[in-house]
Amino acid sequence: MEVVLAALDWIGRILVVPALIAFVLGVYEWSRGVLEVLYRLGLGLTRRKIALLAKGDNVVSGRSLLLDPRLFREENLIIVTSPNDLGRAERADVLLVYWEDWKDHIDDILRLKRDHVALVIYALPQTISPEKLKELDSHRYTIVTNFRGRLLNDVIVSLIAMSRQPRSA
């Protein structure tokens, strides 16, 4: 009986080594994925610019939506209220567009949008025609949302995704 217990003791000691190695590698791989996303989120929240394209009350509403949670810094917010000022949005990494205010100038916005810039459009349901939705779908990193809560989520996810892209000038 002592021989069996001694053998099991040695087998247990030997199996601890691969178990420890597997545990350390698992923690390393898990943290590598999580830490990278957290790092990219931090970069997106602190350095990236968001252009808010809205008019009237939507400017106040959009500004408070972005700044009230205190995730974004006010100096990273570029407010564009007129098609004449659309050039100010060129520095932005995310374009947040209120559809009702800018639907007549969406083609100008799409021309302004570079490939590595996210475009998040807030539109009420059924206000965008299926043809225009199809056109918007042909542009990379373009999101159409119809819920204000989802809007903030889409901006944050866009910032995470864009943090790997080249920095805007």
Mean pLDDT of 108-137: 92
> In this structure, what CATH number is given to the domain that contains residue 89?
3.40.50.2300
CA distance 115 to 112: 10
> How many domains in the chain?
1
What is the C-alpha to C-alpha distance for residues 6 and 121, in angstroms, rounded to an integer?
69
Residues 67, 73: Cα–Cα separation, whole Å: 7
**Rounded Cα distance, 61 and 51, in Å:** 14
Residue-range definition of the domain harbouring residue 122: 48-162
- The string of pLDDT tens digits covering residues 42-101 is 776 777 899 999 999 999 999 999 999 888 889 999 999 999 999 999 989 999 999 999
Please give the pLDDT value at position 163.
67
The model carries a pTM of 0.75
Mean pLDDT of 132-141: 92
pLDDT digits (tens, 9 = 90+) for 24-33: 999 998 888 8
- List, edge to edge, every strand of the sheet that includes 50-53: 77-80, 50-53, 94-98, 118-122, 142-145
